[in-house]
Structure formats: structure tokens, C-alpha cells
Amino acid sequence: MSRLAIDWTRCDGHGLCARLLPEAISLDDWGFPIVGEIGDLDRAVVGTAVASCPRLALRVEK
């Protein structure tokens, strides 16, 4: 099963990922992502969220 991973050295807490993928990502009190399982989510939508990260901090791991 695939999951999202965050490179914490890159993440600045912009929150764009949570807006693009609210089914799998929520934000903590400081605006940093909390990721869940991506399971059966549309791979194109997940790919868009990963590619749209302004700091390239998201990736999909298998």
C-alpha cells in the first residue's frame, strides 16, 4: 500500500497539500500537514498534490 511521506527539512507549512487532498491530509495547529493513508484515492489527484507542493516536500512511498 502506498502512503504519503513528508520531507520535514523542506516543508514550510503552506497548507496547499491539504487543500488539494483533504481526504488524506489535514493540518495541525501550526499549519503543518498530518498525512493519512492514500489507499484508493485517484492517483492523478495524489500526483497533482505532490507536484504542486511549493517546497517539493511531498512524495509517495510504496
Query: Rounded to two decimals, what is the model's pTM?
Result: 0.88
| Residues written for the chain | 62
Q: Where are the domains of the chain?
A: 3-61
Beta strand segments in the chain, E:
3-6, 25-27, 33-35, 58-61
Whether 2 shows a pLDDT value over 80: the answer reads: yes
Out of 2.40.128.50, 3.30.70.20, 3.30.499.10, 3.40.50.300, the CATH code matching 3-61 is 3.30.70.20
Would you say 28 and 34 are in contact if contact means Cβ atoms under 8 Å apart?
yes
Please state the rounded mean pLDDT for residues 34-50: 93
**Looking at residue 36, what DSSP letter applies?**
-
Q: What confidence score (pLDDT) does residue 62 get?
A: 84
Spell out the residues 6+ positions from residue 43 whose beta carbon is closer than 8 angstroms to its own: none
Q: What confidence score (pLDDT) does residue 28 get?
A: 97
